Amino acid sequence: MFGFLASFLYKCCWKRLLRLITGKCELVRICERFPLGTARTVEIERCLKSSKSEVLRRLIDSPDVDVHSSVQEVLDIKNIPAEKFSQFSQAFGVCLTQIVGTSKLLREVNSMKAEKYSESNPQHEKELLELWELLMPDRALTNRHSEQWKEIGFQGNNPATDFRGMGILGLRNLCYFAKKHTSVARQLVSHSNHPRLGYSFAVIGINLTSLLIDLLESRSLRVHFYNMAIGGDPNIDLFHEAYCYVFTEFDSYWREKRPENLLAFPRIRDELYTLLKTRLESDTKTSFVLDSS
């Protein structure tokens, strides 16, 4: 307790001293110290999160923030003269755009997760059938309710029941993978049917959607978005791309560990989550991009 208090007081005094010496608040110093990029945005986010001002702290979790007006609000709160630090507004605005954009993306992801798969929804059914056609181009689906679905890793004859946990987001991730990285996705389906090291491709894929959401909610995945959307809002495709990368990482890790059976999945999943989280948090240059060339 004493150590924590001493550290807290040291940081407060040091920040105050630097402000007196340089005439610049920490936000300005960060923008001057770090070049445009992820490292700067991560530092700005850290600074906002630890701010004594509730207004500043709210910026990192508010998807409806107006960036332009918020930049002006920060100038006022931190007493930053715009004419003296003319480059700050633009530099900080870029960082805030990325931070707010990640909050918007999290809301979009959770909205898709909350949308339940419905057999009465023509769009949902169209996407599901497209998934089969992309992964199994040489085999026609004999019936909408068919045991054939097990060949691509669903649990029974009706895949709709497997999307309960992740909603339509689970299907959208699988479809994006099959459409944008078709050869890789088909290769993983082949791996999943291995007699000794096989796994349920679709069901595992839905579970990996959950893993990716955990990384996003922990703020670790923001590094990927900041690197891929420099100066702009991260979009849902960047989430899908990260999913494709994570799926291939799972496949490699699963075959490397050679588990006895599918009961090992929770342990493998937790180990993979820790590895990916550590990678994101230890290097601000990390991007989850799948090279399918």
Closest residue by Cα to residue 234 from 79, 266, 242, 27: 242
With tokens 């601000």, the residue in question is 284
Mean pLDDT in residue range 177-202: 97
200 shares its domain with 246: yes
Instruction: Answer whether residue 90 shows pLDDT above 90.
Output: yes
Which pLDDT score, from 0 to 100, does residue 233 have? Answer: 82
Which pLDDT score, from 0 to 100, does residue 82 have? Answer: 85
Q: Look at the chain and report how many structural domains it folds into.
A: 2
Half-sphere exposure of 185 (CA within 13 A, CB side): 24
205 shares its domain with 240: yes
Q: pTM score > 0.85 for this model?
A: yes
Please say which residue of 81, 105, 129 terminates a domain: 105
55 shares its domain with 147: no
99 shares its domain with 131: no
Instruction: Identify whether the C-beta of residue 38 lies closer than 8 Å to the C-beta of residue 285.
Output: yes
Please say which residue of 86, 105, 124 terminates a domain: 105
Q: Name the DSSP letter for residue 162.
A: G
30 shares its domain with 154: no
Which pLDDT score, from 0 to 100, does residue 1 have? Answer: 57
198 shares its domain with 267: yes
143 shares its domain with 94: no
Query: Is 124 a member of any domain?
Result: yes
Query: Is 110 a member of any domain?
Result: no
83 shares its domain with 49: yes
Which pLDDT score, from 0 to 100, does residue 290 have? Answer: 87
**End-to-end CA separation in angstroms for the chain:** 53
Rounded CA-CA distance 28/275 in Å is: 34
Query: Is 1 a member of any domain?
Result: no
Mean pLDDT in residue range 244-250: 98
> Could you tell me how many helices (H) and strands (E) the chain has, helices first?
13, 0
Predicted confidence (pLDDT) per residue in 255-280, tens digit = 999 999 999 999 999 999 999 999 99
Instruction: Answer whether residue 152 shows pLDDT above 70.
Output: yes
Query: Is 55 a member of any domain?
Result: yes
259 shares its domain with 127: yes
Query: Is 95 a member of any domain?
Result: yes
Structural domain boundaries, residue 86: 17-105
Please say which residue of 105, 131, 163 terminates a domain: 105
Which pLDDT score, from 0 to 100, does residue 3 have? Answer: 52
